[in-house]
Chain A
Amino acid sequence: MSELDLNNKTSEMLANSEANVKNSKKNFTRPEDEKREVVAPDGSIIEVNPLYDYFSNEKPKEEKPRGGVVEKFLNWARAESIWVLGFGTGCGSIEIPPLVTPRFDMFRYGVQMRPTPRQSNAFIISGYLSVKTLKRVIRTYEQMPSPKYILALGSCTINGGMYYDSYSTINRLDKYIPVDVYIAGCMPRPEALLHGFVKLKQLIKEGKAEKANEYARNFDEYKANQKKIIKDWNMPDYNW
């Protein structure tokens, strides 16, 4: 294939993909992430789907605990080292910063903040959760390594709280992602959050905090609930 032909072919493909973008009404993917054909340097034509460079569509697997003394020891380590993702989802996130101050000092319980989902194993859903944020929460939760725990802070995560009839927030959090510990109140004080951590540690040590496996087991049910409420679903079903 000569260079001129290559150029013609490329510009034709670009025009086609632009036309596709214009024609399709409900398309939430960016034009550069569209599935398309590209010309390789040697002239061959290959099909690419850039969306799958970012995500994988494989379903989560249930990872059985090892059991025995080893699992007990590992659970102790997990309980004494809880790394919380620094992601405030609602008004309750204002209750998290006081935890690092001298008055509350969560570090003495082995609780730390981490900036990336890859390194954290606990996620605080702090207060009301708008549908727009729910999408980000799902993506982030799925990127966290298992075993992972969710603390739901405030009444809004239990029954919607004062936003029970809002058009843009969800009412029951555990329809969308599994929750380990609920901390009721509007807003719960930092002491209540610390108590939630202590409760979570107790659950982990007893081996009862296996909600990540529950999510994998009931994956289809959770996904159906999530898709019912998130209208602009532009990601694969599971984000590794």
Chain B
Amino acid sequence: MNIYAKLAYTILGFLIVLNWGFLMGATMRKIGARMAGRHGIPFKQPWINLFKSISTRTVITHGIMYYIGPVFRLTGGIGLFLFMPMVFTGSPDGPWTNFSFEGDLILIMYFNVFGMLGMALGAGEGGHPYAAMGITRGLAQHAAVELPLTLAFLSIAIQFDTFSIYKIVEAQQGGIMHWVLFTNPFAAAAIILAMLGALGHSPFNLVKAPNEILIGPATEYEGTYLGFMMSAGATLHVMEAVLFMNLVFGGATSWLELIVKSFLIYFWSVFVGMVFPRFKIEQSVTWFFKVPLLLGVLAVIIFMF
């Protein structure tokens, strides 16, 4: 495919992902509100919040790293998008495969952590003493989530003998029984449990929950910085759902399928969040080190021999 056509498809795809992320976030908040018996926010609220944040007249900066923090986070989201095959069209050079290549699974795992590290650097320069504390807790939980996730990814990579997400999706085509969910149930179970932490909903949202006293990394961010972070959050939510969809639930053959599947994957974390109250960091870290980690180790051991 012509590189310019590919670029056009990629930009269009990103716009779809960003707007779908906003709409999905609003829908989930609406569902939460309906469960509590409220009307909840209007569907257009995330876009209004974005415009309002950008329109702030005074914006305080604490230095260059503080400025780069949200940029890093958005870069993490865009990086996840750029190297992820979105829609399976039967050819690795198809229109919606973006810039995926052999071995992109490793790069995607790196981009997963990238945003968090950027925020750590930015919040560190913010000078707010609680921000450092919040980001420490965030990184601790993220490390605990990454371990079972990485083991499950490794197990899937060994199973299909490739680090290419496109090939993993290709191998799962041809019916629901070909999905990793059924061919590698231990890795799938590890991912489904660890995903709760990766998507960052209750009970694992202590790090960014606004009503905690230590609100963490975002305390000092305002205006345009906050707008950046909201865009990054929307992108990351969709992209993580798409990653798990590609690895476990057979990928998508059309945008409609992608939207339905990513909605259901994201809804799983919201569903759990509605039922369970928030965990403390030490509780969530021990939780991830118990069942999900064991499942991940089991998945790797099974496919090693």
B22 located at the interface, meaning its Cβ lies under 8 Å from any Cβ of chain A in the complex: no
Whether A172 sits at the interface, judged by CB under 8 Å, is no
Contact A74 B51 (CB under 8 A): yes
Whole-angstrom CA separation of A166 from B226 in the bound complex: 42
The CA of A116 and the CA of B215, in the complex, are separated in Å by: 8
A78 CA / B60 CA spacing, docked (Å): 19
Binds B, one of A27-35, A38-46, A106-114, A128-136: A106-114
Residue of A102, A113, A118, A212 touching B36 (CB-CB under 8 A): A102
The answer to whether residues A63 and B57 also contact, given A81-B45, A118-B220, A145-B223 and a CB cut-off of 8 A, is yes
Contact count A vs B, C-beta below 8 Å: 82
Contacting pair B60 A118 (CB below 8 A) = yes
Q: Are A107 and B222 in contact (CB under 8 A)?
A: no
| Inter-chain contact A119/B222, CB cutoff 8 Å | yes
Structural contact, B45 and A110, CB atoms closer than 8 A? yes
- Are B45 and A145 interface neighbours, CB within 8 A? no
* Known interface pairs A115-B215, A116-B215, A119-B222; A145-B39 also in contact (CB < 8 Å): no
Using A119-B226, A145-B57 as known contacts, say yes or no to A102 and B42 having CB atoms under 8 A apart.
Answer: no
Assess the B51–A77 pair: CB atoms within 8 A.
Answer: yes
Contact A108 B51 (CB under 8 A): no
Q: Is the CB of B55 within 8 A of A116?
A: no
Residues from 124 to 169 in A contacting B, C-beta threshold 8 Å: 145-147
Q: Is the C-beta of A237 less than 8 angstroms from some C-beta in chain B?
A: no
- Number of chain A residues close to chain B: CB under 8 A: 28
Tell yes or no: B58 within 8 A of A by CB: yes
Instruction: Report A-chain residues with C-beta under 8 Å of the C-beta of B60.
Output: 118, 145, 240
**Is B215 touching A105 in the complex (CB atoms < 8 A)?**
no
Indicate which residue in A53, A81, A101, A147 contacts B48 across the interface (CB closer than 8 Å).
A81
A95 surroundings in chain B (CB, below 8 A): none
Contacts of B56 in A (CB 8 A): 121, 145-147
Give chain B residues whose Cβ lies under 8 Å from the Cβ of A146: 56-58
A-contact bits for B40-71, CB 8 A (1 contact / 0 none) = 11100100110110011111100000000000
B277 within 8 A of A: no
Q: Is B111 an interface residue (CB 8 A)?
A: no
Complex A-B: 19 CB contacts under 8 Å: A63-B58, A74-B52, A74-B55, A81-B51, A81-B52, A86-B211, A108-B42, A115-B211, A118-B60, A118-B222, A119-B222, A119-B226, A121-B52, A121-B56, A145-B59, A145-B60, A145-B222, A146-B56, A240-B60
Question: 9 additional contacts, CB 8 Å, given A53-B127, A81-B51, A102-B38?
Answer: A63-B57, A78-B52, A81-B49, A108-B41, A115-B212, A116-B215, A118-B219, A145-B57, A240-B60
Interface residues of B (CB under 8 A from A): 33, 36-42, 45, 48-49, 51-52, 55-60, 127, 210-212, 215, 218-223, 226
